[in-house]
Structure 1
């Protein structure tokens, strides 16, 4: 089949990565790079290229050879840009978050579905070999029932001008959580607290507690101010525990046969029952072999495959909407001093 014509919108921080991986994906053919600064776009493309640079989004959407648009612009611009592309009959890949609000995200999801178009969110981590292996282990029952999730994403990062640390970093962890949880397990509510110790005018440190439908709690810590970079997630199960260290190339994922077991205590008194209930299990550590694949290349391949097959992408608009609902609920919780905010209520208000 002929490659799908693609336009990339945004030549800033992430746009050049989309340009590079699109050009390396046989099922796609990059046609345009659109940016408000045409010289910056030309610099990204280099001197020897047939890809056109432009400042006109209208010209991009008017090109019949463009079948899809990849948008890498500030979150506040996503709604208008994605809506225009969908109304022009283009499939869309958009960076996280889908939009800054549930209401806007829900409108885009409905518009894409009504027009039979692919709306895909670039939840890049969901396409890494490590996270795919974690999903396989969790959904395959290898770790038993999920009992807790602890995630830490901290570093000395760039204080963003348009979003706080929740909306900048937490989408990674929340999209991973949405991706790996077993079918039928949903997020019910979120409680969050944060601080701005450097007077940046927005949260720079935040902690989220996510309540699942099984009663399990997932915890996420995000921070722009840490002098050390940590990217770890621990998913504890009734049988085994997964530890993912994204900064350890030698052991990104480890599965520990260690934990706490409950044993029958029938017929015992209260004191004896307390001791009999708890036992500790210490077993082997398994380090799965992971293939070496670039996640963003997998994103581009999935975009093309979803368009060709006429199916939703793995991280489709509804996945993006669920993440935005979590973020919006977390922001409400921060405003109310850390109160538990039902996520379903946030979604229903968008309908």
Structure 2
């Protein structure tokens, strides 16, 4: 079977991780990797026009600084390339909507790499929730905290974009209202903060930080019958506990059902690359509407 020719733009921290998965994917032929810091050879280039002018390249993977996403994605689409771009797709809602319009007019795929949304653990969690095992969902807590990386963007663009994409799996973002509380700011940029969300049926919070000395990545779903916990940092990666709310009883005596799942969470980026290939073959859909909502929410929060 003939491989799909693709190119990658950006070879920094995240780009190097993407490169490994693109190279090892049996369905892709990575023809070029473009970055201004790279020396020219057969595969690596600092001349982006090689990508734009090569008609054999059907798709481009973009892993560059956030404020370059819009212009690079737009150029790729106008050059008739399908696109996988790391999150967020752009910093302004009008820009994301423009990119969506161009991709639809040209019948091109535009996919945003919200890494955790490709998790098999979260796929399982969604099925558990949909089966009603936890009962009606009443609240959610999401957290993503560690030390650094300090960039010119605030923590909401860097980390809350991940958590919003997870939240959208379980509660449609368009049905929620949001507000933020900045906890730590440095040079005008928020480094630690909380986003509160609610509607008539559910309320919750997400905490993001670049100042946390350890590392925490966790999603907790509270249902009327039990609680589910997802994490990428330890095993089991997913577990739920159902319990009877008996007055005066503590701990294990409350539990009516519990189950844990140990699922690989170290290769979600690999799953994103595989999803991109399936989307190119029309086997799965784009997540462009999620990308629009994430940017819209973060843009509105940063105006306040």
Compute the TM-score of the two structures, normalised by the length of structure 2.
0.91
- Secondary structure at the aligned position of 1:204 is classed as strand
Deviation at 1:139, TM superposition (A): 2.7
Question: Is this contact kept in 2: 1:6–1:30, CA < 8 A?
Answer: yes
Q: 1:210-221 alignment to 2 at 5 Å?
A: 210-212=197-199, 214-221=200-207
Cα separation, 1, equivalents of 2:192 and 2:266? 32
Residue 259 to residue 158, structure 1, CA distance change in 2 (3 Å)? farther
Task: Say whether residues 1:84 and 2:75 are aligned partners.
Answer: yes
Partner residue in 2 for 1:253: 238
Cα separation, 2, equivalents of 1:91 and 1:310? 15
Deviation at 1:215, TM superposition (A): 2.9
Partner residue in 2 for 1:2: 2
Q: 1:40-79 alignment to 2 at 5 Å?
A: 52-79=43-70
Task: Say whether residues 1:123 and 2:96 are aligned partners.
Answer: no
Question: Is this contact kept in 2: 1:149–1:219, CA < 8 A?
Answer: yes
Question: Is this contact kept in 2: 1:128–1:293, CA < 8 A?
Answer: no
Task: Say whether residues 1:320 and 2:291 are aligned partners.
Answer: yes
Cα separation, 1, equivalents of 2:285 and 2:238? 28
Partner residue in 1 for 2:196: 209
Give the count of matched residue pairs.
Answer: 300
Residue 310 to residue 125, structure 1, CA distance change in 2 (3 Å)? closer
Deviation at 1:84, TM superposition (A): 0.6
Q: 1:93-104 alignment to 2 at 5 Å?
A: 93-104=84-95
- Secondary structure at the aligned position of 1:73 is classed as coil
Deviation at 1:293, TM superposition (A): 6.9
Cα separation, 1, equivalents of 2:50 and 2:246? 63
Residue 66 to residue 185, structure 1, CA distance change in 2 (3 Å)? closer
Cα separation, 1, equivalents of 2:167 and 2:106? 29
Cα separation, 2, equivalents of 1:12 and 1:187? 36
Query: What is the CA deviation profile of residues 206-253 of structure 1, one whole-angstrom value per residue up to 9, with x for unaligned ones?
Result: 1001124x43112101111122222121101122210123221x2221
Partner residue in 2 for 1:200: 187
Partner residue in 1 for 2:142: 151
Cα separation, 1, equivalents of 2:101 and 2:264? 36
- Secondary structure at the aligned position of 1:309 is classed as coil
- Quick one: which of 223, 226, 242 aligns to 1:237? 223
Question: Is this contact kept in 2: 1:240–1:255, CA < 8 A?
Answer: yes
Cα separation, 2, equivalents of 1:85 and 1:287? 43
Give ranges in structure 2 of 5+ residues lacking alignment: 248-252
Cα separation, 2, equivalents of 1:4 and 1:261? 58
Cα separation, 2, equivalents of 1:100 and 1:215? 30
Query: What is the CA deviation profile of residues 48-72 of structure 1, one whole-angstrom value per residue up to 9, with x for unaligned ones?
Result: xx5x222222220110110000000
Partner residue in 1 for 2:176: 188
Cα separation, 2, equivalents of 1:172 and 1:142? 26
Partner residue in 2 for 1:294: 267
Cα separation, 2, equivalents of 1:259 and 1:238? 10
Question: Is this contact kept in 2: 1:190–1:329, CA < 8 A?
Answer: no
Compute the TM-score of the two structures, normalised by the length of structure 1.
0.79
- Secondary structure at the aligned position of 2:261 is classed as coil
Partner residue in 2 for 1:306: 279
Cα separation, 1, equivalents of 2:139 and 2:49? 48
